[in-house]
């Protein structure tokens, strides 16, 4: 009888203990946002679900957000900001909760989503002439503070005149700051050339 109980214990009870997942030597664990929590280990970030399983493996391109004086990546509206370096310039995009890139890194800066919208800095390249001697186009760049949807489509331009920028790692060592603020679902504020605030209501 005793032997039969031990066999039953081995068949039905022990597997439940064996199926648990243990993640050790973690440097930081964040609160849950959008059903996922960020964990940090050896300078890389990953995401776990509410069962403690890693659903997005460790990576180095996740962008941290300051929340309650602590920095860690978060998901909002099933989107998390990522950063990619291209020739020394940082470009920002988004992944979804599976870890797949849904908005390619293309913005000079980007904020977290809220109610399906996010603020970002869209970079526009303009060709003004062609240098016949060198066989190259003469171009200049501007960035615009924009409102994007969950697919990365620009819905509104908050500063229609844009800001001139030199796309060179010696001049653009840090991402430009997003000055615009979202005050409500349809009300935004942005700074004009006089460093004063302008309120704009969007449909």
> Residue 63 belongs to what domain range?
26-75
Inside any domain, residue 6? no
Tens digit of pLDDT per residue, the chain (203 long)?
445 433 333 434 444 444 456 888 899 999 999 999 999 999 999 999 999 999 999 999 999 999 889 999 999 999 999 999 999 999 999 999 999 999 999 999 999 999 999 999 999 988 776 665 666 777 889 999 999 999 999 999 998 889 999 998 898 999 999 999 999 988 999 888 788 999 999 87
Query: Which is it for the CA torsion 65, 69, 71, 74, positive or negative?
Result: negative
H or E stretch at 158: none
Residues 102 and 55 in one domain: no
Residues 57 and 84 in one domain: no
Q: What is the pTM of this model?
A: 0.84
* β-bridge pairing 44-48 and 54-59: antiparallel
- Would you state the pLDDT for residue 133? 61
Total domain count for the chain? 2
Tokens coding 150:
């969950």
- Would you state the pLDDT for residue 16? 40
In the three-class reduction of DSSP (H, G, I as helix; E, B as strand; rest coil), residue 6 is classed as helix
Q: What is the rounded distance in angstroms from the CA atom of residue 30 to the CA atom of residue 131?
A: 53
Tokens coding 129:
């002439």
Tokens coding 9:
């214990």
Residues 44 and 102 in one domain: no
- Would you state the pLDDT for residue 2? 46
In the three-class reduction of DSSP (H, G, I as helix; E, B as strand; rest coil), residue 175 is classed as coil
- Would you state the pLDDT for residue 20? 52
Residues 142 and 167 in one domain: yes
Residues 117 and 39 in one domain: no
């Amino acid at each position: 009888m005793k032997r039969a109980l031990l066999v039953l214990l081995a068949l039905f009870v022990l597997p439940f203990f064996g199926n648990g997942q243990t993640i050790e030597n973690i440097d930081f664990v964040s609160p849950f946002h959008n059903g996922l929590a960020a964990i940090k280990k050896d300078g890389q970030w990953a995401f776990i679900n509410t069962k403690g399983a890693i659903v997005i493996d460790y990576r180095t391109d996740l962008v941290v957000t300051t929340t309650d004086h602590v920095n860690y990546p978060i998901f909002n509206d099933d989107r998390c900001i990522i950063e990619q370096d291209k020739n020394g310039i940082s470009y920002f995009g988004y992944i979804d909760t599976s870890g797949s890139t849904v908005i390619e890194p293309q913005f000079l800066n980007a904020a977290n989503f809220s109610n399906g919208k996010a603020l970002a800095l869209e970079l526009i390249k303009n060709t003004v002439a062609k240098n016949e001697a060198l066989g190259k186009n003469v171009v200049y760049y501007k960035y615009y503070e924009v409102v994007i949807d969950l697919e990365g489509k620009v819905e509104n331009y908050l500063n229609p005149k844009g800001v001139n920028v030199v796309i060179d790692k010696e001049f653009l060592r840090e991402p430009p700051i997003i000055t615009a603020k979202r005050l409500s679902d349809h009300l935004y504020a942005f700074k004009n050339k006089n460093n004063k605030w302008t309120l704009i209501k969007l449909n």
